[in-house]
Amino acid sequence: MIAVLKSSATPQQVANLAEWFEKQGIRVNETKGEYCTVLGLIGDTTRVDMDLLQGLDIIESVTRISDPFKKANRKFHPEDTIVDIGGVKVGGGNFVVMAGPCSVESEEQIVETAKAVKAAGATLLRGGAFKPRTSPYDFQGLKEEGLKLLIKAREATGLPIVTEIMSEDQLPYFDDIDCLQVGARNMQNYELLKALGKIDKPILLKRGLSATMKELLMSAEYIMAEGNSNVILCERGIRTYETYTRNTFDLSAVPMLKELTHLPVVADPSHATGKASLIKPMSMAATVSGADGLEIEVHPCPSKALSDGAQSLTPEQFAGVMEAINKCRTVL
């Protein structure tokens, strides 16, 4: 960590500050310039509060040199973490495809879709029961009933389930669910993250709409700091000014995150692009970029879907995407 002091800082003030750091086990190296003094702070600065420092009168700026996440950091944990979702492994060379409808709508719909995606090669079933929607007047999901239908689909196919939780109060309903998804809007819902850190189920943490990779990793750190290391990160598009696509798919985040962390990283081209025609090329791109898996929306009849229809594939289209993904896997 580097602290730049204002030229107005007195030697006594600088000495006091240095002493305060040294009490925290942080070594201080001082460099005096014409217009400012620079303090190099050496040691474990993870717990130093940047805001507190920036608030000091004598400080001009503070810059972190090392990343503020520790448990998620590949520097301190070089090997890939492998997460087990109901027997299906993710990470460390294990590639998964989570497929299914945006929303669970009926037993027939979810069982039929589960069978179709399994036949095409998907290894996990995804589907929303609790649905975060921008408008209170839009369909909010079948809730507990939806979870029960997902379990029926698992019974019919053997595919473990990935589905979204929106509040720690819903945890009791998720006892028999294999992997809990935290949606983009809840990426910084810290009370939810802390509650998920206290269980040991796999958590699929989606990147917030305008979250930096560092913030995504800090949210993973919230879960891991409570004891749960079964965290999978998911790039699902960020918000920019571009309007042809629903979001901007920050695919570079996949290889970048793989450098920064040992956690598995998957990508969601359906939400990232919002366009059915882009899912195949972007699934292929995500695969060769090094993603540990993909989350793809599939609906038996996309034109009847109650939400996110524009970005869903038919089972036939999905089978074509799976074939392309499998070809791409041979390149690696």
Whole-number Cα distances in Å, 20 to 16, 26, 236: 6, 9, 42
- In the complex with its own copies, which residue's Cβ is closer, 87 or 243? 243
Pairing of strands 2-5, 37-42: antiparallel
Instruction: Please identify, using beta-carbon distances, which residue of 53 and 156 lies nearer to its own copies.
Output: 53
Burial category of 31 from C-beta neighbours within 10 Å (exposed 0-12, middle 13-18, buried 19 and up): exposed
Give whichever of 290 and 320 is closer to its own copies, judged by the CB atom.
Answer: 290
Q: Closest distance between its own copies and the C-beta of residue 207, in Å?
A: 10
Residues in the chain: 332
CA geometry: angle at 267 spanning 331 and 312, to 5°?
105
Closest approach, Cβ 114 to its own copies, in A, equals 20
Least CB distance to its own copies at residue 133 (A): 7
Q: Which is nearer to its own copies, 4 or 151 (CB)?
A: 4
- Shortest spacing between CB 145 and its own copies, in angstroms: 17
Query: 86 or 237: whose CB is closer to its own copies?
Result: 237
Q: How far apart are CA 121 and CA 179, in angstroms?
A: 19
Cα–Cα distance, 27 to 21 (Å, whole number) = 7
To its own copies, the closest distance from the beta carbon of 322 in angstroms equals 14
Token reading at 212:
């930096």
User: Smallest distance, Å, CB 214 to its own copies?
Assistant: 7
User: Phi first, then psi: what are they for 57, rounded to 5°?
Assistant: -55, -35
Return the number of the residue (85 or 110) whose C-beta is nearest its own copies: 110
CB of 235 to its own copies, least distance (A): 11
Q: How far apart are CA 172 and CA 214, in angstroms?
A: 31
When the beta carbons of 96 and 166 are compared against its own copies, the nearer one is 166
CB of 107: closest distance to its own copies in angstroms? 20
Of residues 86 and 100, the one with the C-beta less far from its own copies? 100
- Of 209, 203, 206, which Cα lies nearest the Cα of 224? 203
- At 240, which helix (H) or strand (E)? none
CA atoms 287, 290, 291, 292: torsion sign: positive
Residue 172: strand, helix, or coil: helix
Task: Determine contact, residues 316/283, Cβ cutoff 8 Å.
Answer: no
CB atoms within 10 A of CB 182: 25
